[in-house]
């Protein structure tokens, strides 16, 4: 049985699949990564949720994550405000969303990910509550045919977006990944925040409509 065909039913299953999918993206060559990023961004530019957004959060890739940053010049040309996730200090693994520009001072956080420096991020004028974003791009380790997401396991996005379980304003959530990170089915956990779509270098997956 391949990983694409597996449905994780236990923590050990999920750990094994997460390890394999992370390996798949890490072994992509620099040229494969570049071409995948360009193909991803071509698809993102056609997505209605991206085209109409005026405030977007994306991320800076690490460890083989697909790279959404080739989209930045196009967003700048359209005068879209760009934000990055930042580890919120003194919190239970949740995120701030902080303005990102050419002159934003950057540091590496405890995971080795570049993010706006704490002093810049702590200034309220430089950050936006997640509910005020139009569109939020979410990195992922794996996804399935129903646009369910497997994250890194830290729960950063799920905690930061828990407010979306209640009525009120909320961003559109777009998962982004390499096509090789797709599996057939993933379990849905009670704390999972659903995505509106997953976009890869080869296609777009939407949640299955019920009812």
Q: What is the pLDDT of residues 115-169, one digit of tens each?
A: 999 899 999 999 999 999 999 999 999 999 999 999 876 778 888 888 898 898 9
Distance CA 141, CA 181 (A): 7
The confidence band for 211, taking pLDDT boundaries of 50, 70 and 90, is very low
What's the CATH number where 179 sits?
Answer: 3.40.50.10420
197 pLDDT band, cuts 50/70/90, is very high
Which domain does 32 fall in, by range? Answer: 11-202
Range 85-98 burial, b when 16+ CB lie within 10 A, else e: bbbbeeeeebbbbb
The overall average pLDDT reported for the chain is: 89
Residue 20 domain flag: yes
Q: Residue 2 — very low, low, confident or very high, per pLDDT cuts 50/70/90?
A: very low
Looking at the chain, the whole-number percentage of residues with pLDDT higher than 70 is 91
For residue 158, tell me if it sits in a domain.
yes
Torsions phi, psi for 93 (to 5 deg): 55, 55
1 within domain boundaries: no
**211 found inside a domain:** no
Alpha helices in the chain (DSSP H): 11-26, 30-46, 48-51, 72-77, 118-122, 156-160
In a domain, 143, yes or no: yes
* Least confident span in 1-10, 62-71, 127-136: 1-10
- Averaged pLDDT, 77-89: 93
Report pLDDT digits (tens) over 10-29: 555 778 888 999 999 999 99
Residue with tokens 């009812």: 211
Say what the pTM is. Answer: 0.89
Q: Is residue 5 part of a domain?
A: no
The residue count for the chain: 211
Domains of the chain: total = 1
In a domain, 43, yes or no: yes
Determine, yes or no, domain membership for 170. yes
Query: Is residue 83 over pLDDT 90?
Result: yes
pLDDT the model gives residue 92 = 67
Q: How large a percentage of the chain has pLDDT more than 90?
A: 68
pLDDT at 156: 86
- pLDDT tops 50 at residue 58: yes
Q: How far apart are CA 176 and CA 157, in angstroms?
A: 14
């Amino acid at each position: 049985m391949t990983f694409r065909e597996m449905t994780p039913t236990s923590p050990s299953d999920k750990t094994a699949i997460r390890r394999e999918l992370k390996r798949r993206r890490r072994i992509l060559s620099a040229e494969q990564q570049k071409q995948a990023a360009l193909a991803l961004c071509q698809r993102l530019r056609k997505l209605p949720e991206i085209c109409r957004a005026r405030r977007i959060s994306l991320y800076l890739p690490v460890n083989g994550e697909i790279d959404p940053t080739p989209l930045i010049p196009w967003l700048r040309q359209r005068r879209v405000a760009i934000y990055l996730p930042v580890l919120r200090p003194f919190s239970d693994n949740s995120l701030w969303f902080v303005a990102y520009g050419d002159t934003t001072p950057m540091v590496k956080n405890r995971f080795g990910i570049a993010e706006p420096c704490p002093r810049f991020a702590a200034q309220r004028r430089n950050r936006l509550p997640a509910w005020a974003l139009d569109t939020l791009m979410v990195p992922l380790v794996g996804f399935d045919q129903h646009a369910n997401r497997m994250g890194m396991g830290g729960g950063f996005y799920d905690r930061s977006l828990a407010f979306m379980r209640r009525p009120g304003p909320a961003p559109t959530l777009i998962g982004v990944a390499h096509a090789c990170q797709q599996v057939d089915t993933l379990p849905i956990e009670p704390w999972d925040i659903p995505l509106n779509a997953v976009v890869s270098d080869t296609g777009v997956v939407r949640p299955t409509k019920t009812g």
